[in-house]
Structure 1
Amino acid sequence: MARCQLKAMALLAGILICMGVATQAAQAALHRISVQRAPNFKRTHKNIVAERDFVQQKYRLNTANGYPVEPLSNYDNFQYYGNISIGTPAQYFLVQFDTGSSNLWVPASNCSSTACLDHQTYNLSQSSTFAANGTPFSITYGTGSVSGFLAADNVGFAGLTVQGQTFGAVTTEQGTNFVDAYFDGILGMGFPALAADGVTPTFQNLVSQGLVQSPVFSFFLRDNGSTVNYGGELILGGSDPSLYVGGLTYTNVIQAEYWKFQTDYIKIGSTIVSTYDAAIADTGTSLIIAPLAEYTLIAALFNANSDGLFQCTSLSSVPDLVIVINAVEFRIPAKYYIIQEGDYCALSIQSINQDFWIMGDVFLGRFYTEFDVGNQRLGFAPVNSADSLRGTALWKILVVVLPCGMWKLMN
């Protein structure tokens, strides 16, 4: 028996060593950047309506100047943001990593707007790698606008540095919505066709400059956690299987501007509310946005008004929202798509009268998402919500492998 125990212990040690080597090799190709979320966030009916109005502007093009319209959410909205650097020596900024747009912009040092004074600004005269461009840059929002000029400089994040990235240096921010934002600007991660002025997006430059092993990035967004500000991770160069459960369900992008894909159907309980509708995976939106006809049907199920507000007593009997993608069900429990405030509830599903769905953080916070640029596809899997993510993945394997090994040794 002692000999068998020693053999078992040796087998376990070997398994751990091999797994450690394999894990290190797999992780070496990945580059991570932690994303934060606004502290003390609590979703309310008021900021649901505000976010809906912002998204309505984002998905309409400003036909007067050809620039995409994007929202910068106020501090109450449930957005994710992280650190980047621009210039040499590095100047640091918090940006929202937004898969629903394709341009990078931050405030410039010569911006005198109130919002600029409260945020980090880019000083081109202090960067030895700055390159002038001079093309005017402007983006319009539902509650204001930003404008400035295009510049080029080195941009770093997740331990990588893109050489000569073109971005917007903002000199004017109009609208009170910018003042209280926790982040300074936006880093768009959509496709090049969506970018203003033909600017190559940051991730595409990461790929073309050989900085990532694979043309893939992925998001793990936490909607709950023991650390208040920890919002998850943006991973460049691939995916981390320890952060999700099971395998990824892939679906092709049907329009390489936004990250647009096709759903099979969407239902609440036994009621099918959508069939074969297109949807966009958008990390820059906190809600789920439905086409108007589908939203009207959903609102009728709950007897909700046009803002998604209805009387309620409990969510315990409310069915899941089920989104079927490539024949796989992705379930969102009621507590994630409905908020309760006293005797009233509010849907975190809204409408901006578009003909496609927008899957924001209500969806993406429940499902790990891989954005495969090279193959123009998306992969989804339920997030691993265990406290010790990588440890959990390790023990799942040990539970299977170790008994088999010990049985062989002892027989």
Structure 2
Amino acid sequence: MSQSIVLSFIALSLLIALTFSYEIPLLKRPKTPEQEKRFFKMITSIQERSRLERTYGVRLNRPYLQKFGDGQGEYIPLTDYADTQYYGSYQIGNPPQTFTGIFDTGSSNVWLPSKQCKSIACYVHDKYDSSASATYKPDGKEWEIQYGSGHCKGFFSKDMFRIGKLEVKDYTFGEATELSINFAATGFDGIAGMAMPEIAVGGVQPFFDALWQQGQVKNNVFSFYLTLKESGKSSVLLLGDSSKEYYDGELSWVPLTNGTFGRPTYWLTSFDKIETGGLLIGGAYAAIDSGTSLMAGNAEDIAYILDKVRVKPDCSDIDTLPNVDISMNGQVFTLTPKDYVMNMQGQCLAAFIPLALPKEMGRFFIFGDTFMRKYYSVFDRTNMRVGFALAKH
């Protein structure tokens, strides 16, 4: 039976791991001027639809996008795709077949395009060939995942999974036999989910859980260091630890919550308030999501924020915009205009996007890469918490 779940989308990371911990560089692929132009138009269009909804009652017809130590970890390099997508590499099979993927804290499955896929999007990505692997084992159970930016479906298989120097035998992952056209424009092949096992489609084990269970990493912790494209520094996913090399000061810890879901799902926290330009938004839940490029939240709340932080397209008023202060667990995390304004070929827009959420979810935000670039982020499964510190740039 095909199983499906609505999960978050988007872009980010790479991994590495050692018996202690491992660092993986994350990569960045620049957008072409035409791609930046389309992205700018898409975000401004969504922001304008939110304003119309609030002012004139126009419904935003868009479903929710479901989606400590001494640095002795596995370091995974990440590629930065124009400060909106960060992705890295992992391998499947023996001999290994290499793929690029988003390391996504907003979903829990690993999938990649299958050689059996005939969708147009599959032709522009590397595809897994089970017949070329000596360690392949069939599974056959069908799966389907709906992301905010498209859907994918296929069947499960088992094979050797490698990331950096770490490996998991007989790992269950998804072979995608159908991809929506949206995936043709991505700089990565697949997704490597790092959220809670409770939301994994098919009940399979997230890859970091498997690494921890098999003793591949020292601590049940991983951390992200995301850089700006002009900084010249490399983005990194560190598996099994955190490192002072990437942040200043001390980590501020925020406990996880089940929120309205009633069970562990995402890396879900709560915040006390958001303040900007005299506007105060009360407390709500927030998912810390490496797979979401921007800051997102309820359409009404984001519309109010945009009223205060909306930048002129020519960027001329960026120095007059207010800070956005987010209070979590007694600590204040500040985003300045330089943090939340995206400049694409001389065109500026505020990195806030509205979501049309079901009422039963209550107030809900997503703190994506815009937030995680400013604050080095540590994900601690042992203590069910997330730590933040000012990233070194």
Q: Same fold (TM over 0.5)?
A: yes
Higher relative contact order (CA 8 A, sep 6+): 2
1:261 maps to which of 243, 254, 269: 269
Query: Partners in 2 of 1:106 and 1:312 — Cα distance?
Result: 39
1:277 aligns with 2:277: no
TM-superposed CA distance for 1:213, in Å, is 0.6
1:43-102 per-residue CA deviation (whole Å, 9 max, x = no partner) reads 85324358989xx656347xxxxxxxxxxxxx7771110010001111000001000000
Query: Partners in 2 of 1:158 and 1:130 — Cα distance?
Result: 20
2:176 maps to which of 170, 177, 192: 170
RMSD: 2.7
Between structures 1 and 2, the one with greater helix share: 1
Q: Compared with structure 1, are the counterparts of its residues 280 and 154 closer, same or farther at alpha carbon in structure 2 (3 Å cutoff)?
A: same
1:6-45 per-residue CA deviation (whole Å, 9 max, x = no partner) reads xxxxxxxxxxxxxxxxxxxxx9832011111222475853
AA aligned to 2:282 is T
Between structures 1 and 2, the one with greater strand share: 2
TM-superposed CA distance for 1:339, in Å, is 3.6
- Asked if structure 1 preserves the Cα contact closer than 8 Å seen for 2:273 and 2:327, the reply is yes
Deviates more, 1:155-164 or 1:289-298: 289-298
- Asked if structure 2 preserves the Cα contact closer than 8 Å seen for 1:58 and 1:141, the reply is no
- Asked if structure 1 preserves the Cα contact closer than 8 Å seen for 2:308 and 2:322, the reply is no
Local SS of the residue matching 1:254: coil
- Alignment match, 2:337: 334
Query: Partners in 1 of 2:345 and 2:238 — Cα distance?
Result: 39
Runs of 5+ unmatched residues, structure 1? 1-26, 62-74, 386-411
Local SS of the residue matching 1:156: strand
1:381 maps to which of 357, 373, 389: 389
Alignment TM-score, normalising by the size of structure 1:
0.75
TM-superposed CA distance for 1:336, in Å, is 2.4
Deviates more, 1:78-87 or 1:124-133: 124-133
1:194 aligns with 2:189: no
TM-superposed CA distance for 1:293, in Å, is 3.0
- Alignment match, 1:38: 29
1:243 aligns with 2:246: yes
- Asked if structure 1 preserves the Cα contact closer than 8 Å seen for 2:108 and 2:200, the reply is yes
1:180 aligns with 2:185: yes
1:48 maps to which of 43, 47, 64: 43
Q: Compared with structure 1, are the counterparts of its residues 245 and 28 closer, same or farther at alpha carbon in structure 2 (3 Å cutoff)?
A: farther
Q: Compared with structure 1, are the counterparts of its residues 50 and 299 closer, same or farther at alpha carbon in structure 2 (3 Å cutoff)?
A: closer
Query: Partners in 1 of 2:179 and 2:190 — Cα distance?
Result: 11
1:324 aligns with 2:327: yes
Local SS of the residue matching 1:163: strand
Matched residue count: 336
Identity %: 33
| Larger radius of gyration between Structure 1 and Structure 2 | 1
Query: Partners in 1 of 2:345 and 2:177 — Cα distance?
Result: 44
Runs of 5+ unmatched residues, structure 2? 1-17, 50-61, 68-80, 259-263, 358-362
- Asked if structure 2 preserves the Cα contact closer than 8 Å seen for 1:313 and 1:344, the reply is no
TM-superposed CA distance for 1:329, in Å, is 1.5
Q: Compared with structure 1, are the counterparts of its residues 109 and 325 closer, same or farther at alpha carbon in structure 2 (3 Å cutoff)?
A: same
2:105 maps to which of 87, 99, 105: 99
Q: Compared with structure 1, are the counterparts of its residues 147 and 40 closer, same or farther at alpha carbon in structure 2 (3 Å cutoff)?
A: closer
